[in-house]
A = this chain, B = another copy of it.
């Protein structure tokens, strides 16, 4: 059964900025979704901020998404709390979410983390980023060598205000000497959260095969368990296990 991926993109830079438009004529979401569509076992949808009042995040789509990929930058505040709440609820109940680059400041990521998610940053024309694998064997870095290089990217530097990751699978070093935890995972409820640092809109990062491979791997790893039962909370009666209490003869083992 295939994994249902929803690639969500703000999609405004691509309309406003000719330089971005040239790199991503159909939007960053299509660059990413296009690559994922070529992979086996993924069913890929896109949604964008200005698509409709719900930012493309209808209840139906959200309920039928196993993993979200999220890119936003300029307009985090334009995403309605209702849509964010819907995605948040879906993640806690078993979907995954892969937050990309400037999505670190999105409402959904900040809500999942509980922190400011702030960082240091710098835009140069050609500052190189080296991404080092810090957890070989993790499914998200499958097929990736011990490092890979992006010739030009925006710098993000520590301190990155996130809760201590459950796994840090990539750490970057930049031309200027800064470092950054560029690949991190967390669990929230029954859902899995991934942060993956690259892709500033003015660079062709989402045409890079290694970057796309990491996104594909991350989507597979974070994708929800489809037959997850509803999580059970609330009031409970007493003595429901009395039959099994110590001192009574044990019931026959179920073979």
Interface residues of A (CB under 8 A from B): 92, 94, 111-116, 118-122, 124-128, 130, 132-139, 142-143, 145-146, 149, 151-152, 155, 157-161, 163-164, 166-168, 171-179, 181, 186-191, 203-205, 207-210, 224-225, 227-229, 231-241, 244-255
Please, which residues of chain B bring their CB within 8 A of the CB of A160?
A: 134
The list of the 3 closest CB pairs from A to B, nearest first, reads A137-B190, A175-B246, A151-B250
A225 CB to closest chain B CB (Å) equals 6
Q: Are A159 and B181 in contact (CB under 8 A)?
A: no
Q: Which residue of B lies closest to A88 (CB)?
A: B114
Question: Given the complex of chains A and B, what is the CA–CA distance between A210 and B254 in angstroms?
Answer: 9
Question: Given the complex of chains A and B, what is the CA–CA distance between A130 and B47 in angstroms?
Answer: 41
Of the candidates B111, B186, B190, B207, the one whose C-beta lies within 8 Å of that of A253 is: B207
Question: Given the complex of chains A and B, what is the CA–CA distance between A177 and B128 in angstroms?
Answer: 10
Known: A114-B112, A137-B189, A173-B177. A128 touches B241 (CB 8 A): yes
Copies of this polypeptide in the complex: 4
A-B contact pairs, 21 of them (CB 8 A): A120-B234, A120-B235, A121-B234, A122-B238, A130-B177, A132-B159, A136-B159, A137-B189, A146-B231, A151-B251, A151-B252, A161-B189, A163-B188, A164-B187, A168-B168, A171-B171, A173-B174, A174-B246, A177-B240, A204-B253, A209-B254
Q: Are B176 and A238 in contact (CB under 8 A)?
A: yes
Of the candidates B145, B168, B245, B249, the one whose C-beta lies within 8 Å of that of A175 is: B245
Interface SS of chain A: helix, strand, loop or mixed?
loop
Q: Which residue of B lies closest to A233 (CB)?
A: B118
Q: Which residue of B lies closest to A224 (CB)?
A: B137
Q: Are B166 and A233 in contact (CB under 8 A)?
A: no
Please, which residues of chain B bring their CB within 8 A of the CB of A239?
A: 176, 246
